[in-house]
Amino acid sequence: MKSNPHDATGPHAVSRRTFLKTFGTSAVTAATLGANNVARGLAQANAERSQGPGAVGVTLRVNGESRTFSIEPRVTLLEVLRANAGLTGAKEACDRGTCGACTVLVNDTPVYACSLLAIEAQGADITTIEGVARDGKLTALQQAMVDRDGLQCGYCSPGMVMVLTALLRKNPHPSEAQVRRAIAGNLCRCGSYPRIFAATLAASGQKPVTKLNVISLHDHAVA
């Protein structure tokens, strides 16, 4: 799970904090960089100071669409998605990078949207749960979550689907252990994990290796 905002790509790839931390803690670094590089780095770091604290224009590419928002630089990606973009699928639960309910994909990598500043997500492809289904058709994973009853309250479900979508894109036939590892950063307070594991494996055309004791709605169709 990638959640470090300072790893973001784009115009803020070298943050003032990163630059000053590196520069300030290593005399060897300064010598190696050379005077020109140091000057360039400081200029870039100082330029970042001009962002905010008032609202600035931030352009985000969300679900294939570019949109510009007027927001303060301190605003998180999750806040912008929910409050400004009207995309409320990513949920705010802990708001401190521990539960995964806010997970979105940034360049196909699952990221806690509550722990990334929106301004740092500029230039990246952001996918939310609203952008996963195509033309109103659920993906195999989404359908399997429904069929296998992979949720109870459903609050964690969007984040689960996002992280497992990323897994299946990279590894279409994951082992059960890989599925478990993939959602290690996503908490489900209702205890729906066995059904979520089963749904993910079913979506990849596999059966659970261990006995998960889950009921498929397909197996027990109501007359």
Q: Which residues bind ligand FES (CB under 6 A)?
A: 92-95, 97-102, 112, 114, 151-157, 188-190, 192
Least separation in angstroms between CB 212 and ligand FES:
16
Identify which of residues 41 and 162 has a Cβ nearer to ligand FES in the complex.
162
Identify which of residues 142 and 157 has a Cβ nearer to ligand FES in the complex.
157
Least separation in angstroms between CB 151 and ligand FES:
4
Identify which of residues 181 and 189 has a Cβ nearer to ligand FES in the complex.
189
Is 112 within 8 Å of 159 (Cβ atoms)? no
Residue 125 CA, chain-centre distance (Å), reads: 11
In the Cβ-directed half-sphere of 32, how many Cα atoms lie within 13 Å? 6
Least separation in angstroms between CB 195 and ligand FES:
9
Cα distances (angstroms) measured from residue 143 to each of 107, 131, 167, 191? 24, 15, 16, 20
Identify which of residues 96 and 137 has a Cβ nearer to ligand FES in the complex.
96
Least separation in angstroms between CB 194 and ligand FES:
12
9-33 per-residue burial string, b: 16 or more CB within 10 A, e: under 16: eeebeebbeebeeebeeeeeeeeeb
Least separation in angstroms between CB 101 and ligand FES:
5
3 state DSSP class of 134 = strand
Identify which of residues 104 and 167 has a Cβ nearer to ligand FES in the complex.
104
The full length of the chain comes to 223
